[in-house]
Amino acid sequence: MAMWQNRPDTIKGIPAVAEFDELQNRLGYVFREPSLLTLAHTHPSVAHEQGAPMQTNQRLEFLGDAVLQLVLTRELYEKFPSVGEGPLTKARAKLVNRRTLAEHARKLGLGEHLILSRGEDIHGGRERPSALADTFEALLGAVFLDGGFEAAREFILREFHAAFGGLNVIPILENPKGELQELLQAVSSEPLQYRVVSATGPDHDRIFECTVHHAGAELARGQGKSKKEAESEAALAALEKIRTEKETTNR
């Protein structure tokens, strides 16, 4: 249960602004309109639970996604002046996949401050990758509205500094499932197998978890809002694992 749920100054389940002071320190950004930060952390399940119209972070998520795409697109455009549209699009997709955004949210501790329905909280909503990724995008939208484009750009580049620092070549991001199959066909003709191991969450936020297997061994797992997305994430995780192991072996 979140810290704010037991506070006497909590009104209708919304935390006091002071609860976000520590978070703002981690973000390195102080909101002029703290209500935007609160809204960025308001999960849609709250509206479903109350059964009445209320603002949630979905509109901010929509805005934040656009801001993130623009900032990263510009950086890739300037960093790789000789690279065409196709590879740039794939590189951007690698940077903004849901798994990556959820990891950014975890590092910032956004889940701890999520405003959820009781049922969503009980069923692990604070750690749900989709909820974390959506909240991270909503946070970007909130920073944009509060401080303007430059504030959002500085925040995004600070968050993605490690990625751009190591992005010396455009990453290959074709169909992860196809890439994985092609990579493993060099050592075995046995096909890959994908299995759905769980489907959790409410109907409005269903999350599937899939595993990918080869030669009887589980290679990796992935999660997504559909079976297809979960399988792709599993394949991507397997590719990254195999490539990391190769790099380690070759050192």
Distance separating alpha carbons of residues 136 and 101, to the nearest angstrom:
7
Distance separating alpha carbons of residues 88 and 73, to the nearest angstrom:
8
Catalytic hit among 65, 146, 205, 233 = 65
CB 92 within 8 A of CB 65: no
Backbone angles phi and psi of 195, in degrees to 5? -130, 135
The DSSP result for 65-90, as a single string, is: HHHHHHHHHHHHHHH-TT--HHHHHH
Provide CB contacts within 8 A for 34, sequence distance 6+: 17, 20
- Catalytic residue check, 137: yes
Closest to 160 measured CA to CA, from 59, 60, 79, 248: 79
Strands 207-214, 193-200: pairing kind: antiparallel
Catalytic hit among 137, 159, 205, 209 = 137
User: How many CA atoms lie less than 13 Å away from 133 in the CB half-sphere?
Assistant: 17
- Catalytic residue check, 75: no
Complete edge-to-edge strand list for the sheet that includes strand 217-224: 193-200, 207-214, 217-224
Instruction: Give the distance from CA 121 to its chain's centroid.
Output: 18
CB 180 within 8 A of CB 235: yes
Catalytic positions, written as ranges: 65, 137
